[in-house]
């Protein structure tokens, strides 16, 4: 993973601002999200109350959507872009 500032200009008259970027290898990110989903499914099976199971299902739904996006996109890296400072 690397965090490199990316030059950004909002226009010809604005000063140059930097946008922080975190670059993560796609395969490592995919593996991490998949492992997280496995743990969440295990936790869901161990929960006793419907509210606890519902919370696990909400987290599983979110991370499944993230995993689907990671697998759908192409390239060796995923870039997470922060706010301009």
Looking at the predicted structure, is the pLDDT value of residue 5 above 70? no
User: pLDDT tens for residues 39-70?
Assistant: 999 999 999 999 999 999 999 999 999 999 99
pLDDT of 18: 78
Better-scored residue on pLDDT, 29 or 82: 29
34 contacts 19 by C-beta, under 8 angstroms: no
User: pLDDT tens for residues 11-43?
Assistant: 566 566 778 899 999 999 999 999 999 999 999
Q: Whole-angstrom distance between the N-terminal and C-terminal Cα of the chain?
A: 21
pLDDT of 6: 58
Backbone angles phi, psi at 22, to 5 degrees: -105, 120
């Amino acid at each position: 993973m690397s965090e490199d500032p990316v030059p950004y200009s909002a226009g010809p008259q604005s000063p140059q601002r930097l946008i922080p970027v975190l670059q993560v290898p796609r395969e490592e990110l995919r593996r991490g999200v998949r492992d997280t989903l496995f743990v969440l499914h295990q936790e869901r099976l161990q929960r006793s109350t419907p509210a606890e199971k519902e919370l696990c299902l909400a987290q599983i739904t979110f991370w499944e959507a993230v995993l689907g996006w990671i697998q759908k996109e192409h390239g060796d890296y995923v870039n997470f872009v922060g706010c301009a400072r």
